[in-house]
Amino acid sequence: MTDQIRKNMYIMYNNEPNFITEAEFYSPGKGSAFTRVKLKNLNSGRVVPFTFKSGEKVEELEVNFQNMQYVYADDNNVFFMDKSTYEQYELKRSLAEQYLPFMKEGEEYTIIMYMDTLISIKFPPQVTLEIIETSDAVKGNTSTGAMKDAILETGHKMQVPLFIGVGEKVKIDPETSAYQGRATE
C-alpha cells in the first residue's frame, strides 16, 4: 500500500487492475487536497476520471516485464509468444488497441504482466516504420506543412508530409499517432 500516487503506476482499484495514465495534485478553493487521476481499467480498457483523497492509500500492483514476440491479433485478442518457452499468451485487444496500428508481426515487444496475465505493452515513446504506399514525393519545399495519405508497413493509414516517398522510414509517436519526422539511417 502506498499514498504516493503518480502517473504510470499500476494499482488495484475497485478489485480490478488499473493503470494511472494521468495524475495531478488538486485543491478546490474551499476544500482539502486531492489527487485527480485518469484510470485505465486493465480488464476493460476503459479510461475514467477518478479522485483520491490526499494521503489515501492504494494498493500498488507488482508487475513484471517480459519480452515477447507479437504473433497476430484477432477481433478480441492480441497473441504473443514467449520465445524461450514457445508458450503463447493473449492480451485483450482493447488493452492494446492504440498500439496495434504500429505493431509488426514477428517483432518483439515488452509486455507488462500482473500475476500470469498480460495487462499492457510497454510501448516505446517513438516507433520507426516504413512507408509502403503513397503518392509520389514532392521535392523541394519541406516547410509548408501540407500532408498526404500514406500506408505504413503495418497496413495503417496515416498522414505524412508531401516530401515523403515509398520506401522511406518515418518516426511516429504511438500515443498520439502523429508523424514526428523522417527517420535518417
Interaction site with other proteins (CB under 8 A): 13-14, 24-34, 36, 49-53, 56
Q: Supply the minimum distance, in Å, between the C-beta of residue 107 and other proteins.
A: 35
Looking at the Cβ atoms of 18 and 134, the one nearer to other proteins is: 18
Query: Are the C-beta atoms of residues 84 and 108 closer than 8 Å to each other?
Result: no
Looking at the Cβ atoms of 22 and 105, the one nearer to other proteins is: 22
Looking at the Cβ atoms of 19 and 80, the one nearer to other proteins is: 19
Looking at the Cβ atoms of 14 and 176, the one nearer to other proteins is: 14
Q: How far apart are CA 60 and CA 114, in angstroms?
A: 11
Query: Are the C-beta atoms of residues 61 and 15 closer than 8 Å to each other?
Result: no
Q: Supply the minimum distance, in Å, between the C-beta of residue 50 and other proteins.
A: 5
Looking at the Cβ atoms of 24 and 97, the one nearer to other proteins is: 24
DSSP per-residue codes, 60-122: E--EEEEEEEEEEE-SSEEEEEETTTTEEEEEEGGGTTTTGGG--TT-EEEEEEETTEEEEEE
Q: Supply the minimum distance, in Å, between the C-beta of residue 59 and other proteins.
A: 11
Degrees to nearest 5, angle at CA 62 with 78 and 111: 25
Q: Supply the minimum distance, in Å, between the C-beta of residue 101 and other proteins.
A: 23
Q: Supply the minimum distance, in Å, between the C-beta of residue 1 and other proteins.
A: 11
Q: How far apart are CA 36 and CA 53, in angstroms?
A: 9
